[in-house]
Structure 1
Amino acid sequence: MNKPWPHQEDDPGRDSHDDARDPDPSRTSTEGGYPADEHTRLLPNRLDSTPYLSPDDPAVSPYNLWTVRLVRYTTVALACLTFVWWVLMLVSIFITPPGLHARGSPFFAFSYASIALLTLAVELLFFAVPSKSVRVLSIVTAALLLVDVIVMLAVERTRHEEAWAGVASVVWATLMAVWAVAADRTVQWGKTEEEERLTGRPETRRTLLEWTQVLLSSAALAVMAAVVVLMTCTLSLRAVDSRLAPPGERYWVEQNKYQIHLYCGGNKTTDAMGKKIGATVLFEGGEDPVERGLWQFAENAVGNGSIGRYCFADRPGMAWSDAAPSPLSASMASDALSEALSRAGEAGPWILASAGIGSVYSRVFSSRHGSDVHGILMIDPLHEDLLARVGAPGRGFMLWLQGVISPCGLDRILGALVRGRGSADRVWGRSSYQSGASIFAKLQESLVADSLTKRELVSSRAIQDRNTPVVVVSSGVQIRRDSEWEAKQRDLTHLTDNLEDWDVVAEAPHQVWETLEGRRVIEKRLKKLARL
């Protein structure tokens, strides 16, 4: 028999149903059959109420949902895959893996791979703290990257230069930005679902730690969005520059891996029977393309009757020529030039006119073409013993760093907007050194200058035809500044046993042809070689 309620003992005539009608909360019974008191009223009724958790309880987490966990695991897998691709793009800057050759430069593909990897890294670091600002910035980044995809695919030249690796990188970066938006939105949904289920309402407040995480993730994505804006502007400039037609033709070399731009001007050097009646001057540029300075000089020399015909080719990565796979030594570049000349139907005899570091390439070319070379004119040439300056690790690192930031194109964009620089300036003129392809070409020179190229140059000197006429025109400014440079200029006058002249133009800089006296001396010596 159940024990009677205490108040029922005091009032035997009270109906038990009066308890249900009694408005006094102190008389409300509990589950155990006892009336509620000042203790039991403070506890939730396990039958009539829901035991909600505190919003700060660790159990309140979007990770409770398998959908959110699946999104996180997928993001980790995508990050791992992107990291592998990023490593391949980094390696391709120094040594080109098979099938990953970019004919423009590998820096754009590397930048897009970096954007994709950073986007996923930010998403993973702040996965459990979704925010609207992160989603908005990711949408902006995805839209800009989609514009890059369209520009890259729509313009034939950019599509040719970036090849499949560059296109794949920008498409992947676009997809990862879209995935970041979807993942953040999924986490936000999961967070809201779990808060409603476990706390009774969605949580609107954030802790200081959460606000810090939102600030950091938003700042990181804002920086990335700004970088993508600059990359889009740079890519647009490249699309505009692609309309500038080269003066010559591009020829496929090295089993159709890339193209070399070759131009020839002047009079024919053959008679009606096809017999050679004169030599063709083959110009090789120095630190800058031939188009910047030497091209105009060659035109004037033809007009003055000093030479009859000339040709020049842009080295890989310079002006209108594609970038070559890495590594690229002087002999490899010389072989590419020989192949381009052959495809164009141009044959010797040649008079080789080179400037600065271009003399390295001309000397290798001369040693491989023997009797076809009727003369060598070197303008302030670089000696093989000084190649260590070109291949210095510090210089190589700075070139790599310039290349990595070159897709942002700050200097090129400012030059176009503020200084009025046009396509010619950016392709072969005073701004050409800022392009990713040009920086990459110089980095390739630096990487092998004191190893492969130096060995090839030493070997070429040993097999050089000793009867070939040689002329050296040196910069007086450079000689006065660097005593070692003077000693090496003197040594190059002994390249063969047939030194014609050694001229030191007193007030001329390294680019000797930039002074009137320098142009006069160079043209005079070229005319003499052409008459031999």
Structure 2
Amino acid sequence: MVSFKPQNDEAGRAEEAEHHGESSTRREPDENTRLLPHGSSEGYLSPDDPAVSPYNLWSVRALRFFSSLFLAISFVWWVLLLISIFVSPPGMHNRGSGFTDFSYTTLTVGNLIISLLFFAVPSRPMIIWNGILALLLLVDVLIIVAVPRLRFEEGGVGIASVVWAALITIYNVAQIYFVEKGKEQEEERLTGRVETRRTLLEWLAVLAETVVLGIVAIVVILLTATLILRARDASIEAPGKKYAVNNAKYEIHLACVGDSAENDRQNLSTILVEAGEGPSEHTLQPFIHNAYANGTIHRYCYWDRPGFAWSDNAPSPHSAGMSADILSEALALAGEQGPWILVSAGVGSIYSRIFASRHVHDVTGLLLIDPTHEDQLQKIASPGRGFRLWGRGIVSPLGLDRLAGAIFKGRTREDRVYGRVSYQGGRFIKAKLQENLAAESMTASEIASAKNIQTPETPLVIVSSGVEVGRSESWAKQQEALTKITEHLVAWDIVKGAPHEVWETLKGREAVEKRLGELVRQ
């Protein structure tokens, strides 16, 4: 009995040591051990096992979390920018159209959605495309920051949107790279080798992400080309001066031609030109300058409403009455005191009538060329027109029409800034959208008040388009109604064969210049 006891003790100690060794080699499962099958002779999973996933790594899960967080932040910013197109929140107004920063934020949101949809299927094409996007967006940042006019227009909101788009694209490159490395690491750990095969669904995903990111790259190329075009257009110096208005929130362009001292000595009124549907420089101003050169008038001033030519966009909403007040402020800053003879065309007559009602002692005459009656405000404010303007504004940063015009039609900087294709610019579209949004509410109320305030003794001339009068009976009746906005009608001329832009025909120019001379000599 005594001889067997040491043997039993030795066996017990051996068994205890063996048990202790097994216990010492075991440890709590972690992200590198918990998926390994216990008892497997090989210790590896099948490559098709769902457990073989980069999501096993906490770093990959953290990347997905940050992508989702960045998407949420970008979406909130996108909503704010969308709202600012219609109503400017405090601190969200920039002097440009607001469509550029919205486009870049839309790009950011789309890029993040793509990266999340194809998060678990990283590929080399995704890294290459995102690298190209990052390079282009960094170029965009440099263009906006380097060109003073663009930096001034886009402001902090626009610059932040472009910088954020560039940073997110750089982040996407890093994310795809680390997810790809994590995927390889998990495959090698769990299957014994890196999986080089792809399933049909994975190949379709790679194809889809390559095509989508290729389209996104084309969009960014167009955005970059449009910025380059805008930088070139910014080199045109504005005639006259620009004045900071509305607590220096934006600047308005105003120019005056002629000797003010001589005009005062002769006790003559200054002609104040209000554009119609387009900038003054392309519509009325050239004709008015000819009248000045001919000696019919001795001095005139013209300006660009917010969003037109060299003037910045105003915060939304913006009505005709607000424009009239801004013009008053700009004239005061320029030291211009009148008296004024207001000359306007088309929808500009609405603005002139409101301005006249607010300066009854300074306005000595009204000359309205085929003016827009207030009943037309309902048409200007139509939802369909507003939706079309909004749609045009959203795609305007791509510059499809402006780039094509510059490349294939030889459009110049002057054409784009204030000329025949100025309507393609984002700032102009934003101004027209603001006009649409305020027409049937604020502007309608302002013109109704102006009608009651207008001094009855103010001399009035109406020059109507014979084409428009003959085409529409309602237009003819509205033209006749406008002859009664004051009790002192000097003349109502219907120029036969003249279009809405009456001054584009010889008879129209002769009629307008004749009546303008009569108003000046009164």
Q: With structure 1 as the length reference, what TM-score do the two structures score?
A: 0.90
* TM superposition shift of 1:53: 1.1
Amino acid at match of 1:377: L
| Correspondent of 1:345 among 335, 344, 354 | 335
Q: Counterparts in 2 of 1:61-460, with a 5 A limit?
A: 61-268=53-260, 270=262, 277-460=267-450
| Distance of aligned partners of 1:61 and 1:432 in 2 relative to their CA distance in 1, 3 Å threshold | same
| Correspondent of 1:489 among 468, 479, 485 | 479
Secondary structure at 1:340's aligned position in 2?
A: helix
- Do the aligned residues in 2 keep the contact of 1:283 with 1:353 (CA within 8 Å)? yes
Structure 2 CA distance for aligned equivalents of residues 209 and 59 of structure 1: 18
| Distance of aligned partners of 1:315 and 1:510 in 2 relative to their CA distance in 1, 3 Å threshold | same
Q: Is the deviation greater in 82-91 or in 217-226? A: 217-226
Secondary structure at 1:118's aligned position in 2?
A: helix
- Do the aligned residues in 1 keep the contact of 2:275 with 2:283 (CA within 8 Å)? no
Structure 1 CA distance for aligned equivalents of residues 380 and 38 of structure 2: 81
- Do the aligned residues in 2 keep the contact of 1:151 with 1:236 (CA within 8 Å)? yes
- Do the aligned residues in 2 keep the contact of 1:269 with 1:278 (CA within 8 Å)? no
Amino acid at match of 1:122: I
Structure 1 CA distance for aligned equivalents of residues 47 and 373 of structure 2: 74
1:473-505, CA deviations, whole angstroms, 9 ceiling, x for partnerless residues? 111111122211111111000000001100111
Amino acid at match of 1:317: G
1:147-202, CA deviations, whole angstroms, 9 ceiling, x for partnerless residues? 00000000000000001000000000000111111111111011000000111111
Amino acid at match of 1:72: R
| Distance of aligned partners of 1:305 and 1:52 in 2 relative to their CA distance in 1, 3 Å threshold | same
* TM superposition shift of 1:270: 4.7
Taking only the aligned residue pairs, the percentage that are identical comes to 54
Q: Is the deviation greater in 65-74 or in 201-210? A: 201-210
Q: Does 1:519 align with 2:509?
A: yes
Structure 2 CA distance for aligned equivalents of residues 285 and 345 of structure 1: 21
Tell me which residue corresponds to 2:500.
510
Structure 2 CA distance for aligned equivalents of residues 394 and 460 of structure 1: 28
Structure 2 CA distance for aligned equivalents of residues 87 and 59 of structure 1: 38
* TM superposition shift of 1:431: 1.1
Tell me which residue corresponds to 2:12.
none
Secondary structure at 1:371's aligned position in 2?
A: coil
Structure 2 CA distance for aligned equivalents of residues 57 and 48 of structure 1: 15
| Distance of aligned partners of 1:451 and 1:276 in 2 relative to their CA distance in 1, 3 Å threshold | farther
Amino acid at match of 1:260: I
Structure 1 CA distance for aligned equivalents of residues 38 and 367 of structure 2: 100
Q: Which runs of 5+ in 2 are unaligned?
A: 1-36
* TM superposition shift of 1:373: 0.2
Structure 2 CA distance for aligned equivalents of residues 307 and 314 of structure 1: 21
Secondary structure at 1:259's aligned position in 2?
A: strand
- Do the aligned residues in 2 keep the contact of 1:356 with 1:381 (CA within 8 Å)? yes
Tell me which residue corresponds to 1:530.
520
* TM superposition shift of 1:79: 0.5
CA RMSD in angstroms, aligned pairs only = 1.3
Structure 2 CA distance for aligned equivalents of residues 269 and 362 of structure 1: 25
- Do the aligned residues in 2 keep the contact of 1:380 with 1:489 (CA within 8 Å)? yes
Structure 2 CA distance for aligned equivalents of residues 519 and 190 of structure 1: 75
- Do the aligned residues in 1 keep the contact of 2:460 with 2:488 (CA within 8 Å)? yes
Amino acid at match of 2:45: L
Structure 1 CA distance for aligned equivalents of residues 80 and 306 of structure 2: 22
Amino acid at match of 1:464: Q
1:42-94, CA deviations, whole angstroms, 9 ceiling, x for partnerless residues? xxx98894232111110000000000000000111111001110001111110
Structure 1 CA distance for aligned equivalents of residues 109 and 283 of structure 2: 43
* TM superposition shift of 1:267: 3.2
Q: Counterparts in 2 of 1:51-70, with a 5 A limit?
A: 51-70=43-62
| Distance of aligned partners of 1:50 and 1:284 in 2 relative to their CA distance in 1, 3 Å threshold | same
1:361-392, CA deviations, whole angstroms, 9 ceiling, x for partnerless residues? 00000000001000000011111111111110
* TM superposition shift of 1:348: 1.0
Tell me which residue corresponds to 1:461.
451
- Do the aligned residues in 1 keep the contact of 2:273 with 2:344 (CA within 8 Å)? yes
Q: Which runs of 5+ in 1 are unaligned?
A: 1-44
Structure 1 CA distance for aligned equivalents of residues 469 and 121 of structure 2: 64
1:500-532, CA deviations, whole angstroms, 9 ceiling, x for partnerless residues? 100111111111111111111110011000011
Amino acid at match of 1:230: L
- Do the aligned residues in 2 keep the contact of 1:79 with 1:117 (CA within 8 Å)? yes
Q: Does 1:478 align with 2:468?
A: yes
Structure 1 CA distance for aligned equivalents of residues 362 and 226 of structure 2: 43
* TM superposition shift of 1:297: 0.8
Structure 1 CA distance for aligned equivalents of residues 68 and 41 of structure 2: 41
- Do the aligned residues in 1 keep the contact of 2:389 with 2:432 (CA within 8 Å)? yes
Secondary structure at 1:264's aligned position in 2?
A: strand
Secondary structure at 1:369's aligned position in 2?
A: coil
Structure 2 CA distance for aligned equivalents of residues 126 and 385 of structure 1: 54
Structure 2 CA distance for aligned equivalents of residues 499 and 152 of structure 1: 52
* TM superposition shift of 1:269: 5.1
* TM superposition shift of 1:296: 1.4
